[in-house]
Amino acid sequence: MMQGLFITFEGIDGAGKSSHIDTLAQALRAAGRTVTLTREPGGTPLAEKLRALLLHEAMDALTETLLVFAARRDHLLRVIEPALARGEVVLCDRFTDATFAYQGAGRGFDLSVLSYMERLAQTGIGLQPDLMLNPDLTLWFDVPPEVAAERLAQARAPDRFEAEPAAFFARVARGYADRAAAAPGRFARIDGAQARERVAAQMLAMVAARGWLPEDAQ
């Protein structure tokens, strides 16, 4: 059986994650892998209900953080770990780095408390109960906040996060940069400000470089 592979997509709102996740799913399927495509917050009936609350109801930073981790726990238990145990590739639009970037850097929530909650939520499920589940690879779509804001202004009505001011997204972007600097082996930075074709090519090249796609998939 193939080994399970957990790949997450990260970046500020409007960075281009959702636009490119299908391209990677198709390339991996063409290479013979079974792919589970999912997202956070969400990915299960319960977590999708929590997502609707998170995106639209006013709440304080602690409530927000507790709901994000509750959604993640359910998602891990019901979707991510079972798919990895079956040897599938899980492509997840956002994961815990988003919590460090948005609730930590963006809202100012204590990072050491987040680390503790991360360990609580991501340890003790399924396969390797002593290990905290982390992505094998995180594709970080890095774009200047002004570029992302310009894209979103043309694209969709803002949710509770997207309605935050530019200063919030500047903090979130720095939060992602800090996470990437702290885990350079796991993070692959993609220049998300490029044209779509170049973003897609860079993304595929990074996955191929790890041996998870044939080199000619690009």
Ligand X SMILES: Nc1ncnc2c1ncn2[C@@H]1O[C@H](COP(=O)(O)OP(=O)(O)O)[C@@H](O)[C@H]1O
Ligand Y SMILES: Cc1cn([C@H]2C[C@H](O)[C@@H](COP(=O)(O)OP(=O)(O)O)O2)c(=O)[nH]c1=O
Which one, 57 or 191, has the nearer CB to ligand X? 191
Give, as ranges, the residues between 19 and 58 that touch ligand X (CB under 6 A): 19
134/28 Cα distance (integer angstroms): 20
Q: Residue 208 to residues 29, 98, 131, 201, 216: CA-CA distances in angstroms?
A: 14, 25, 27, 10, 9
Span near ligand X by CB under 6 A; candidates 58-66, 164-172, 194-202, 205-213: 194-202
List the structure tokens of 62.
Answer: 């602690």
Considering only 4, 7, 11, 97, the residue that binds ligand X (CB under 6 A) is: 11
Q: How far is the CB of 40 from ligand Y (least distance, A)?
A: 4
> Where does this chain touch ligand X (CB under 6 A) — which range of 7-15, 29-37, 62-70, 119-127?
7-15
Q: Which one of ligand Y, ligand X, none interacts with residue 39, CB within 5 to 8 A by kind?
A: ligand Y
| Three-state helix/strand/coil letters over the chain | CCCCEEEEEECCCCCCHHHHHHHHHHHHHHCCCCEEEEECCCCCHHHHHHHHHHHHCCCCHHHHHHHHHHHHHHHHHHHHHHHHHCCCEEEEECCHHHHHHHHHHHCCCCHHHHHHHHHHHHECCCCCCCCECCCCEEEEEECCHHHHHHHHHHHCCCCCCCCCCHHHHHHHHHHHHHHHHHCCCCEEEEECCCCHHHHHHHHHHHHHHCCCCCHHHC
How far apart CA 65 and CA 183 sit, in angstroms, is 22
155 binds ligand X (CB under 6 A): yes
199 binds, among ligand X, ligand Y, none (CB under 5 to 8 A by kind): ligand X
Contacted entry of ligand Y, ligand X, none for residue 161, CB cut-off 5 to 8 Å set by kind? ligand Y
Residues in contact with ligand Y by the rule CB under 6 A: 13, 18, 39-41, 68, 93-94, 98-99, 102-103, 159, 161-162
Query: Which of the choices ligand Y, ligand X, none does residue 19 contact, using the CB cut-off of 5 to 8 A by kind?
Result: ligand X
* Residue 152 CB, nearest approach to ligand X (Å): 6
Binder of residue 155, out of ligand X, ligand Y, none (CB less than 5 to 8 A by kind) = ligand X
- Residue of 5, 7, 15, 54 interacting with ligand X (CB under 6 A): 15
- Comparing CB distances to ligand X, the nearer of 77 and 201 is 201
Which parts of this chain interact with ligand X (CB under 6 A)? 11, 13-19, 151, 155, 195-196, 199
